[in-house]
Amino acid sequence: MSSTEVIEEFLSGFCRTCNGTQSVCCEYSMEDGERILEFMDCAHASCLHRGACEIYKEAVRIGRERE
């Protein structure tokens, strides 16, 4: 039985939805030497400002998002 390594990154930036600075915990798994974004502790999937969100852009830059 193999275990999946989980890597946590804490990112901070301006959140348009909250109209203030937010710290967001992002969880990544490792797959073939690449980080895969698995989870963000904000509502990024349904956020109206996702396209302009600097926190989300940084999270995706660090690891590609799982389809």
The string over 15-34, giving b where at least 16 C-beta atoms fall within 10 Å of a residue's C-beta and e elsewhere, is beeeeeebebebbbbeeeee
pLDDT at position 1: 47
What is the rounded distance in angstroms from the CA atom of residue 12 to the CA atom of residue 25? Answer: 9
Q: What is the pLDDT of residue 38?
A: 92
* 1-54 per-position pLDDT tens digit: 456 788 999 999 999 999 999 999 999 998 888 899 999 999 888 999 989 999
> What is residue 5's predicted lDDT score, i.e. its pLDDT?
83
Alpha-carbon span 67 to 59, nearest angstrom:
15
